[in-house]
A and B are shown apart, each in its own frame.
Chain A
Amino acid sequence: MPPVDEPILLDIPEIIAETDRLIIRAPQVGDGVLVHAAIVESFEQLNRWMHWAQRLQSIEETERMCRLGAAQFTRRDDLRMHLFERESGRFIGSSGLHNIDWQVPNMEIGYWLRTSATGKGYVTEAVNAITDFAFVMLGAERIEIRCDPENARSVAVAKRCSFIHEGVLRCEGRGPQGELRDTSVFSKIRKERQV
């Protein structure tokens, strides 16, 4: 697909996908309270891997992030997405397409799940749906997953979703605790270009 020269004019539905068990949609004003409760519940797990979870946010900070996410989504700068369990309507985690280079288009998919919703394959379901969305609706040529090779659950998601392991970038960053950290890079490219 060609580069996207004016992403702000792309029509993207607020509801990205409805899968068997999930509804995936753009962040909205007012989501903060839902997201905050999930962060509180999952703080210990998030704290291990996520730079943004080195201290517990206030509800106001989380709401601010949701509003920023909604605005960035509208501008097509960054497509953060919220995941809801279809049956219960419960907020179960966050995903989205980040570091978007519309000139390719090339983007990164990220994700986290609240602790009480893990182990059910929800992230796999979300990543598959968002990947399809990116290839079909956004014309993505490349989607990547980056994670710490020691984050076994994140690595497992990439593999389960048939992303190809491209390599390990050594000493690529520092972890939340300040230790030097490698980055594993996985990718999927457009089917018709796969060799």
Chain B
Amino acid sequence: MTPIENPAELDIPTRFETERMVLVAHDLSVAQAMNDAVRESHAELSAWMPWAKEIQTIEQTRAHIRQTMADFILGKTFAYSLTAKTSGEYMGNIGVHPRNWSVPSFEIGYWINTRFAGQGYTSEAVRYLTDYFMETVGAQRMLIRCDTRNRGSAGVARKCGYTLEGVHHNWGRDNKGDLMHMEHHARVTRS
């Protein structure tokens, strides 16, 4: 495949159905559920996510959702709510972030309410979106990055066929200000 010249002209679906979930592009109707989930999972999220250092107010969550809605239209990031197919319950977020349109390459980020962790939901969503972006959008490279200590996230990458390409030592700082090492996992079209 070739570089994508006009990202804003792409038609990326706002809804996907996987085996057990529906992935829906964010809108304000999930604001309260998202805010509740962030609160419930704050201990886990604050260990890894720069945005989860402080607990968000509902206004911050609403503002964040508005921003992601605009970003979706602009092709800056494609963010979805993970919702359970049977109950419709909100479970977490997954986002596909364009990294380099000339490749094209995308990075996937995700988190799930602690209550739903360990049941393969995140992997199911990551696998689905990875395949979609590689097969339909023409991605040559899909990337997942995580702190070396975040074994849950690394496990998702591995289960979804990503290969650990390297660890960048002293790459950044965590929410406590301590130095952290960043793992780069990727899937590429070339074997």
Question: B177 an interface residue at 8 Å Cβ cutoff?
Answer: yes
Answer whether A167 and B167 are a contact pair too, CB < 8 Å, given A104-B172, A104-B179, A180-B140.
Answer: yes
CA of A174 to CA of B100 in the docked complex: distance in angstroms? 9
Q: How far is the CB of B106 from chain A (nearest CB, A)?
A: 12
CA of A42 to CA of B44 in the docked complex: distance in angstroms? 53
Mark A166-195 against chain B: 1 for CB-CB distance below 8 A, else 0. 111111111000101000010101100100
Answer whether A168 and B166 are a contact pair too, CB < 8 Å, given A103-B173, A104-B171, A106-B172.
Answer: yes
**Are A167 and B103 in contact, CB atoms less than 8 angstroms apart?**
no
**Are B100 and A187 in contact, CB atoms less than 8 angstroms apart?**
no
Interface of B is mostly: strand
CA of A169 to CA of B103 in the docked complex: distance in angstroms? 13
- Chain B residues within 8 Å of A170, by CB: 141, 165, 186, 188, 190
Question: B6 an interface residue at 8 Å Cβ cutoff?
Answer: no
Question: B150 an interface residue at 8 Å Cβ cutoff?
Answer: no
Interface range, A side: 20 to 34
**Are B170 and A189 in contact, CB atoms less than 8 angstroms apart?**
yes
Question: A150 an interface residue at 8 Å Cβ cutoff?
Answer: no
Q: How far is the CB of A178 from chain B (nearest CB, A)?
A: 8
Question: A141 an interface residue at 8 Å Cβ cutoff?
Answer: yes
B60-119, CB < 8 A from A: 100, 102-103, 105
Report B's interface with A, CB cutoff 8 A.
3, 100, 102-103, 105, 140-141, 165-173, 177, 179, 184, 186, 188-190
Q: Known pairs A180-B140, A193-B170. 13 more at Cβ < 8 A?
A: A3-B173, A104-B171, A167-B167, A169-B166, A170-B190, A172-B103, A172-B105, A173-B102, A173-B103, A174-B3, A185-B166, A187-B170, A190-B170
